[in-house]
Structure 1
């Protein structure tokens, strides 16, 4: 499981750090049902993914990709 460290005060866009030392970006996007959060990573080790709710400290998100299943845990920085 990889941990994504987030700053809860930055709700629209932020650079995120991962527990394996890699980085990425989180961006809020307007969707039909409200706001979704898009996570994209600079390294090809992790798939990009979208969550349809605000990230919650301690929550785990399971992402399915062509490389298999990965789990990401959100943690406040």
Structure 2
């Protein structure tokens, strides 16, 4: 199983709805809040097929690191606020 390096997702903490996010490798994605039984979760989907989409079960926090396992191997994403 291949392990990919750390990719940073730049998130605007002021936006409360769907937002386009930029990644440290220059690609883009979308972060969408979703209502779930336990509260709000955040769905991440990316335009670059090298990055698997994932759901974060809590509000993104600056510095959070999420490990995502996909058919292509493990990827690590870090959340970083933009101003």
TM-score range, shorter chain: over 0.9
Kindly indicate whether structure 1 or structure 2 has the higher relative contact order, using CA contacts under 8 Å at least 6 residues apart. Answer: 2
Structure 1 portions without partners, runs of 5+: none
Counterparts of 1:12 and 1:56, CA distance in 2: 16
Q: Give the TM-score of the pair, scaled to structure 2.
A: 0.91
Deviant stretches of 4+, over 4 Å: none
Query: C-alpha offsets along residues 41-68 of structure 1, whole Å, 9 cap, x if unaligned?
Result: 0110100000110000001000000000
SS in 2 for 1:9: coil
SS in 2 for 1:61: strand
Counting matched residue pairs gives 77
Asked if 1:68 is matched to 2:80, the reply is: no
Q: Give the TM-score of the pair, scaled to structure 1.
A: 0.98
Asked if 1:56 is matched to 2:67, the reply is: no
